[in-house]
Structure 1
Amino acid sequence: MSDNTRPILFFDSGVGGLSVVAPTRALLPAAPIVYAADSAGFPYGTKSEGEIAARVPALLGRLLERFRPRLIVIACNTASTIALPAVRAALDLPIVGTVPAIKPAAQASRTRVIGVLGTEATVRQPYVDDLARRFAGDCTVLRYGSAALVELAEAKLAGEAVAPDAVARELAGLFGQAGGEAIDVIVNACTHFPLLEDDMRAVVPREVTFVDGGPGIARRVATLTDGQQWPHDSGEARLVFTRLSEREAQIGAHLRAHGFAPPETL
């Protein structure tokens, strides 16, 4: 593999990281892409910190050996807030993490009440406490962890219909908290959730702005690869699962129309 064909590797527990791939491809259309989903370990949001801290560096080590990426994007808030330091210590290449976009949310909020919508594992992390303290000290930051929204996003990418009532029930967990009626900005602190943004907008009880880290990550990747050479034809993006079941096959079939090759297994 020549240097100019070395890919950018995106890693998530499932398909959520595709919300980070899209803005990156818009900035770097010639970049070869490998998207790896740990379907055998999905979902991460209900796992313990210890499980994630052990699993993610080991998997990324295997992916590094197989694909020789020039850069790795951990396109998962849960994995990033727990395992990012260990991954950076173990792997000798640039690693870009994904963290809740609390800073731009605070900059955008007029009511000074922000909702952070993520997985259960992400919203309880001290890292989120630190972001809120540093960038939203004058805001009320309400959090809600939803495993159901992650499952709904996976189902949507597999071609299944999203039930509005199911989305509304999860958002009620955020807006139903004390002070929740004043939320005017929601941080999508799980990369799965931008895939459901239209579905959420249809049922939110008031007008809100959604923010996520995807565009910022894309700009960071572009900066880190500035001046590097890309192939004349990047070809189809590669899609890798750690387990290839019927659900992953359905997702792979859906992604064929978006420039992805048939799925393969790690």
Structure 2
Amino acid sequence: MEANSPILIFDTGVGGLTVLAELRNLLPDAPVIFAADQAGLPYGEKSEAEVAARVAGLLGRMSERYRPRLACIACNTASTIALGMVREVLEIPVVGTVPAIKPAAAMTETGVIGLLGTKATIRQPYVDRLEAEFAQGKTLLRHGAPELVEPAEAKLRGKPVDLAPVRNAVAALRAMPRGAEIDTVVLACTHFPLLRAELAAELGDGVTLVDGAAGIARRVAHLLDGQVFDRDREDMAVTTGPLDDFVSLTPALAGYGLTRIVRF
């Protein structure tokens, strides 16, 4: 493995930057390529077959071009659907993102947990298995809130945040049976931690927000333990969508150490 081989972080949009932020704390010297499949948005509205084929195909081609040492799928929807297929395609370690149900179940005192994700994520059998394994005896209330992605990206771009989707998502959770007892909410989309302050304000005191970014970063660091890193070029952000639209994120991306922007 070459010392300048990057870690490839893949997401549908820019929510995966929340994972990159945690990874920088653990592996500050590691070269990184952040790839956003903005041409493929929204994943949450696609069929499972479409998502699996697209993610596996893109990561296969990106792996050939960029020769990463590890790939991280920093997207709950893509991971819950395509992780197995991607691991079959790539010959490097692949780390996925799954809803943080296990830590949420350990934290809750009321036994009622809310989960906000895309419509595709909340219906996945993988989430059913996580609930069965780690949240037995607890109540998990799921709500698909893809409308939170747009205000999250707006906030990252320094634009005003439309709070209506935040209020609607919280109201939907609270309206479910036992929704008033929710004391822990899983943010099962990597975009959603960008709206942590807005969601916390709407949920009120006494509610803990949980996401998987720190755990994902720890898993990546564990798999790369002992490896040598040499950042001999600028860390890069790649988009599959229009470059002009991605360039508008330049200040935000630079804040995450991504100083070169290209189209895939």
Asked whether the two chains share a fold, i.e. TM above 0.5, the reply is yes
Using structure 1 for the length normalisation, give the TM-score: 0.95
Between 156-165 and 188-197, the greater mean CA deviation after superposition: 156-165
Between 182-191 and 239-248, the greater mean CA deviation after superposition: 239-248
2:242 to 241, 244, 256: 244
| Structure 1 residues 247 and 159, CA gap change in structure 2 (3 angstroms) | farther
How many Å apart are 1:148 and its aligned residue?
0.6
| Structure 1 residues 234 and 188, CA gap change in structure 2 (3 angstroms) | farther
Q: Distance in 2 between matches of 1:118 and 1:92?
A: 29
> CA-to-partner distance for each residue in 1:212-256, whole Å, 9 max, x for gaps?
11111111111111110011x465421000012543221234322
How many Å apart are 1:50 and its aligned residue?
1.2
Using structure 2 for the length normalisation, give the TM-score: 0.96
How many Å apart are 1:66 and its aligned residue?
1.1
> CA-to-partner distance for each residue in 1:93-123, whole Å, 9 max, x for gaps?
1000000010000000000000111000000
- Which runs of no fewer than 5 residues in structure 1 stay unpaired? none
Give the count of matched residue pairs.
264
Q: Secondary structure at the match of 1:239?
A: strand
Conservation of the 8 A alpha-carbon contact between 2:32 and 2:235: yes
Q: CA RMSD in A?
A: 1.3
- Which runs of no fewer than 5 residues in structure 2 stay unpaired? none
- 1:65 aligned partner: 64
Counterparts of residues 108-187 of structure 1 (less than 5 Å): 108-187=107-186
- 1:263 aligned partner: 261
- 1:199 aligned partner: 198
How many Å apart are 1:257 and its aligned residue?
3.5
- 2:36 aligned partner: 37
Q: Secondary structure at the match of 1:203?
A: helix
Q: Distance in 2 between matches of 1:83 and 1:212?
A: 20
**Percent pairwise identity:** 53
Q: Distance in 2 between matches of 1:111 and 1:238?
A: 44
Conservation of the 8 A alpha-carbon contact between 1:253 and 1:262: no
How many Å apart are 1:159 and its aligned residue?
1.9
Q: Distance in 2 between matches of 1:101 and 1:256?
A: 28
Letter in 2 for 1:44: Y
